[in-house]
């Protein structure tokens, strides 16, 4: 029995996720972003269903917490450190093909945001890092200090939807070297200016953009989505809360329709 660990992340849309996974007795499920295991625990806890779950994540710290939380479920839970960009290989090698449901809960976790030295937060001082997994090569420091001004502007515009992306990129290049999250947040804030008082920090969009670029999030998503279709038992459930919401909204407004196209668009 491992010592108790603090759990930082609260899973989103939990009832909706369980509802759309429609868990069946003896089913095999893959949580591609298991994090600290919030969704995974709920899938395994479904009363008397005897499900199996493969939990994948790049973040070893999160996996250690998931391991501690799921250990009561014995051999029904399998954890794998890796990217859902390699979903098919991970699912096959762990005996989860065909799967009865696949879940992706995209984005950054509270554990990652609240740990200053992971470098995800503009309000906590840490070295610029932003990697989901320690085995990844490129850090936010590499990108912020090494990327051309033009490429930075494209990242910030495309992944952060920052209208002042060119101005932000120019300010970053002029202020190099930038070592910490707080330094970067200050440079971006001065470039963006206060604008309307929306309550959103002026560096929010740029931090999101750099995180997406560092982790090649859209490239991995594209690979993961294609492989999810391959590993699922025919006619089974693919569940990503964001994807579900986008697909639902896709039928409601033209604006969301564009979001859907962008989600599927090949990155740079
Ligand atoms: C919003 S959190 C998931 C939280 C989780 N559902 C829970 O209940 O604790 C997103 C997770 O996705 C992971 N992640 C991001 N990109 C990934 C990738 N390509 N492959 C595997 N995991 C990834 C992050 O490390 C993070 O732990």
Please tell me the predicted confidence (pLDDT) of residue 216. 97
Ligand 1: residue whose CA is nearest its atom 13:
33
Q: Is the pLDDT of residue 106 over 90?
A: yes
Compute the average pLDDT of residues 154-175: 97
Query: Where do the structural domains in the chain lie, given as residue ranges?
Result: 14-109+218-263, 116-215
Question: Between 246 and 156, whose confidence is greater?
Answer: 156
DSSP state of 2: P
Q: In the structure, what pLDDT confidence band is assigned to residue 261 with cuts at 50, 70 and 90?
A: very low
CATH 3.40.50.150 fits 14-109+218-263, yes or no: yes
Ligand 1 within 6 A of CB of 99:
no
Beta-carbon count within 10 A of 194 CB: 9
Beta-carbon count within 10 A of 9 CB: 20
Beta-carbon count within 10 A of 254 CB: 7
Ligand 1 within 6 A of CB of 69:
no
Burial of 222 (C-beta count, 10 Å sphere; 0-12/13-18/19+): middle
Ligand 1 within 6 A of CB of 58:
yes
Q: Could you tell me which of 196, 205, 11, 39 has the C-alpha nearest to residue 122?
A: 205
Rounded Cα distance, 202 and 221, in Å: 27
Ligand 1 within 6 A of CB of 227:
no
Strand partners, 78: 54
Instruction: For tokens 């609240």, name the residue.
Output: 114
**Distance between Cα 173 and ligand 1 center (Å):** 31
- Rg (C-alpha) for the chain, rounded Å, is 19
Please tell me the predicted confidence (pLDDT) of residue 257. 35
Phi then psi dihedrals of residue 103, to 5 deg? -120, 135
Average pLDDT in the chain: 88
Q: Is the pLDDT of residue 266 over 70?
A: no
Please tell me the predicted confidence (pLDDT) of residue 263. 38
**Distance between Cα 35 and ligand 1 center (Å):** 5
Q: Is the pLDDT of residue 246 over 60?
A: no
Q: In the structure, what pLDDT confidence band is assigned to residue 46 with cuts at 50, 70 and 90?
A: confident
Tell the CATH superfamily of the 116-215 domain: Putative methyltransferase TM0872, insert domain (1.10.150.170)
pLDDT digits (tens, 9 = 90+) for 53-87: 999 999 999 999 999 999 888 889 999 999 999 99
- The proportion of the chain whose per-residue pLDDT surpasses 90, expressed as a percent, equals 73
């Amino acid at each position: 029995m491992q010592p108790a660990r603090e759990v930082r992340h609260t899973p989103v849309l939990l009832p909706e996720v369980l509802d759309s996974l429609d868990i069946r007795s003896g089913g095999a499920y893959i949580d591609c972003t298991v994090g600290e295991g919030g969704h995974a625990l709920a899938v395994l806890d479904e009363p008397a269903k005897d499900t199996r779950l493969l939990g994948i994540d790049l973040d070893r710290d999160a996996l250690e917490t998931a391991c501690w939380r799921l250990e009561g479920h014995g051999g029904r839970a399998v954890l794998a450190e890796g990217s859902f960009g390699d979903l098919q290989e991970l699912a096959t090698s762990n005996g989860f093909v065909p799967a009865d449901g696949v879940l992706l809960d995209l984005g950054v976790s509270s554990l990652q945001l609240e740990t200053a030295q992971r470098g995800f937060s503009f309000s906590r001082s840490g070295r610029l890092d932003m990697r989901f997994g320690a085995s990844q090569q490129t850090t936010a420091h590499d990108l912020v200090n090494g990327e051309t001004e033009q490429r930075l502007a494209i990242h910030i515009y495309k992944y952060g939807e920052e209208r002042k992306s060119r101005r932000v990129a120019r300010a970053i290049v002029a202020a190099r070297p930038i070592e910490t999250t707080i330094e970067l947040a200050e440079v971006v804030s001065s470039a963006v200016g206060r604008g309307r008082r929306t309550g959103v920090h002026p560096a929010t969009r740029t931090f999101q953009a750099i995180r997406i670029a560092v982790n090649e999030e859209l490239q991995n998503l594209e690979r993961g989505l294609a492989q999810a279709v391959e590993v699922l038992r025919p006619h089974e459930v693919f569940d990503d809360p964001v994807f579900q919401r986008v697909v639902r909204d896709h039928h409601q407004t033209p604006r969301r329709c564009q979001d859907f196209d962008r989600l599927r668009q090949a990155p740079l």
